[in-house]
């Protein structure tokens, strides 16, 4: 790289990182602010859950299409448009008078965030090229970890001192500064005028991801075998199957099937889906548990869950260096094993009087595992992709990551709250009531432990899958 290109690359990294930081901060901060916001807006348990889940659902169903649009329309345009909408929606959230308008603002916020998240890694990849992409993506992963640190801390203290609305208002001036910097430094990217956008594929992806996720979100309240849950799940799976068939026969598919021709990339995509299911769900569970069962304030709960992000912050750059000496798959396996062991320990130790040191140790090891996985996994997905397909390759990765976060959160909440009555669920989510009974605390503890054990199992299964794929690749190379 020349000096000018080097400076341009770092300027793009700052813009992409700042935009991603805003989006991840918004998600992680609301984890501890949700009870206060739900009480203020007089939200029902379902509305309270959807204030959190709607952001993840809408951003997830949009990211795949936005990744393709970035290749066709230009990454700069989509990034700036998404960031502008996100800032405006933050202001709308801050002034929302009721739960219904809050949900509408969160949907707009999620659409804007999708435009940012679908482009961040691809912009960095374009700016740095293959040789230095690992380092740059490692820094981007550190920024996401930093958001996990700052979000719960800032969310807890801001809610305790000034109220939850200030949490959204703070995004406006900061976001405008990021928008101005991004407008200045992001380079224009070539648009693929010869290719068209796959509207049928986009519609089917919306229906498939949305149907499956909505079914999971209803499972806790209605039961896994209820007619609405089964209907939405079946409709979503059918849409996903039809989407896969359409992509194989489309002249300009939304998702290029050749992205999945590489076995290593297929495994990396499956791995990020499984790992991300354990990324946000434990934070949501622990934050709600500490407030409902241990009586902690939002600021205290935010401090207690911060170690997971400190672990991510420490591990991400180390993982970026390790992949220069070891295969990315080996580092990913170690990361998933660490995360699985940490979740298993947390499931065994969780109780209202859990010691701060015990909780911090479990969450820190979980953060080490997540941070060790994300950087080598992202690099293995993007390094060998053609630049004109980098947007959709990152879009698939981001979609799977968001889907995992969303499905993991919905699944964990469903399992954790399944033993509680609707009134007790309302207390846990903070919309009414003064506290849980001893029986409810015991039931919530068992439910949360079961949810954490399930997440641990997913991590261990993912590590076994990656290790097996690595062994098979080694055998094929030796035979060849």
Contact 136, 13 (CB under 8 A): yes
Higher pLDDT, 254 or 473: 254
Residue 137 has pLDDT above 90, yes or no: no
- What are the structure tokens assigned to 361, written together? 């140790």
Contact 122, 383 (CB under 8 A): no
This prediction has a pTM of 0.74
pLDDT tens digit string along 75-88? Answer: 888 889 999 999 99
Mean pLDDT of 112-141: 75
* 331: exposed, middle or buried (Cβ count in 10 Å: 0-12, 13-18, 19+): buried
Give the span between the Cα atoms of 179 and 193, in whole angstroms: 27
Mean pLDDT of 25-33: 72
Higher pLDDT, 373 or 435: 373
Secondary structure of residue 351 in the 3-state scheme: coil
| pLDDT class of 18 with cuts at 50, 70, 90 | confident
Mean pLDDT of 84-97: 91
| pLDDT class of 211 with cuts at 50, 70, 90 | confident
Residue 190 has pLDDT above 60, yes or no: no
Residue 110 has pLDDT above 80, yes or no: yes
Report residue 9: phi and psi, to 5°: -60, -45
For the chain, the average pLDDT equals: 81
- Predicted pLDDT at 205: 84
Which residue ranges make up each domain of the chain? 3-185+255-479, 199-253
Q: What is the dihedral of CA 48, 52, 58, 60, to 10 degrees?
A: -150
Most confident of 43-57, 111-125, 303-317, 449-463: 449-463
Closest listed residue to residue 391, CA positions, set 175, 82, 14: 82
Higher pLDDT, 312 or 360: 360
- Predicted pLDDT at 112: 92
- Predicted pLDDT at 242: 92
- Predicted pLDDT at 145: 66
Contact 30, 284 (CB under 8 A): no
* Domain 3-185+255-479 is found in CATH 3.40.30.10: no
DSSP-H helix ranges across 323-355: 328-349
- Predicted pLDDT at 133: 65
Most confident of 157-166, 296-305, 356-365, 391-400: 356-365
Closest listed residue to residue 81, CA positions, set 7, 165, 186: 186
- Predicted pLDDT at 149: 63
- What are the structure tokens assigned to 296, written together? 């902690």
pLDDT tens digit string along 327-359? Answer: 888 889 999 999 999 999 999 999 988 888 999
pLDDT tens digit string along 373-432? Answer: 987 887 778 766 766 676 677 778 877 887 787 778 878 888 888 787 777 877 777 644
Residue 250 has pLDDT above 50, yes or no: yes
| pLDDT class of 468 with cuts at 50, 70, 90 | confident
- Predicted pLDDT at 305: 83
Secondary structure of residue 240 in the 3-state scheme: helix
Give the span between the Cα atoms of 64 and 226, in whole angstroms: 30
* 230: exposed, middle or buried (Cβ count in 10 Å: 0-12, 13-18, 19+): middle
- Predicted pLDDT at 431: 45
Higher pLDDT, 178 or 406: 178
Closest listed residue to residue 202, CA positions, set 389, 82, 61: 61
Residue 281 has pLDDT above 90, yes or no: no
Give the span between the Cα atoms of 300 and 288, in whole angstroms: 12
């Amino acid at each position: 790289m020349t000096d000018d290109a080097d400076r341009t690359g770092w300027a793009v990294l700052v813009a992409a990182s700042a935009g991603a930081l805003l989006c991840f901060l918004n998600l992680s901060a609301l984890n501890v602010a949700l009870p206060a916001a739900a009480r203020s807006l007089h939200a029902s348990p379902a509305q309270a859950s959807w204030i959190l889940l709607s952001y993840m659902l809408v951003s997830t169903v949009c990211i795949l299409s936005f990744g393709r649009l970035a290749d066709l329309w230009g990454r700069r345009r989509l990034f700036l448009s998404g960031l502008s909408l996100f800032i405006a929606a933050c202001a709308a959230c801050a002034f929302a008078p009721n739960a219904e308008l809050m949900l509408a603002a969160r949907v707009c916020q999620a659409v804007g965030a999708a435009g940012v998240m679908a482009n961040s890694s691809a912009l960095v990849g374009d700016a740095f090229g293959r040789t230095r992409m690992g380092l740059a993506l490692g820094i981007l992963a550190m920024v996401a970890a930093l958001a996990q640190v700052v979000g719960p801390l800032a969310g807890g203290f801001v809610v305790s001192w000034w109220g939850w609305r200030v949490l959204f208002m703070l995004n406006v001036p900061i976001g405008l500064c990021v928008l101005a910097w991004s407008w200045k430094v992001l380079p224009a990217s070539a648009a693929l005028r010869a290719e068209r956008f796959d509207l049928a594929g986009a519609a089917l992806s919306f229906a498939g991801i949305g149907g499956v996720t909505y079914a999971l979100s209803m499972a806790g309240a209605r039961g896994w075998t209820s007619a609405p849950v089964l209907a939405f799940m079946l409709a979503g799976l059918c849409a996903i199957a039809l989407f896969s068939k359409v992509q194989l026969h489309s002249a300009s598919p939304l998702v290029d099937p050749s992205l999945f021709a590489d076995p290593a990339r297929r495994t990396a995509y499956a791995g990020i889906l499984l790992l991300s299911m354990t990324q946000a769900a434990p934070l949501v569970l622990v934050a709600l548990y500490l407030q409902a069962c241990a009586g902690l304030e939002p600021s205290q709960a935010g401090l207690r869950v911060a170690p997971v992000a400190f672990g991510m912050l420490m591990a991400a750059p180390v993982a970026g260096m390790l992949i220069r000496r070891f295969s990315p798959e080996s580092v990913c396996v170690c990361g998933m094993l660490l995360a699985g062991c940490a979740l298993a320990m947390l499931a065994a130790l969780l109780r209202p009087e859990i010691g701060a040191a015990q909780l911090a140790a479990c969450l820190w090891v979980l953060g080490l595992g997540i941070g060790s996985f994300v950087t080598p996994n992202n690099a293995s997905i993007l390094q060998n992709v053609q630049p004109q397909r980098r947007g959709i390759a990152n879009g698939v990765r981001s979609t799977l990551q968001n889907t995992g976060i969303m499905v993991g959160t919905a699944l964990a909440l469903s399992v954790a709250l399944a033993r509680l009555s609707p009134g007790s669920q309302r207390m846990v989510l903070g919309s009414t009531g003064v506290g849980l009974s001893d029986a409810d605390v015991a039931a919530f503890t068992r439910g949360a432990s079961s949810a954490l054990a399930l997440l641990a199992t997913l991590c261990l299964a993912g590590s076994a899958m990656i290790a097996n794929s690595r062994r098979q690749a080694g055998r094929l190379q030796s035979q060849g």
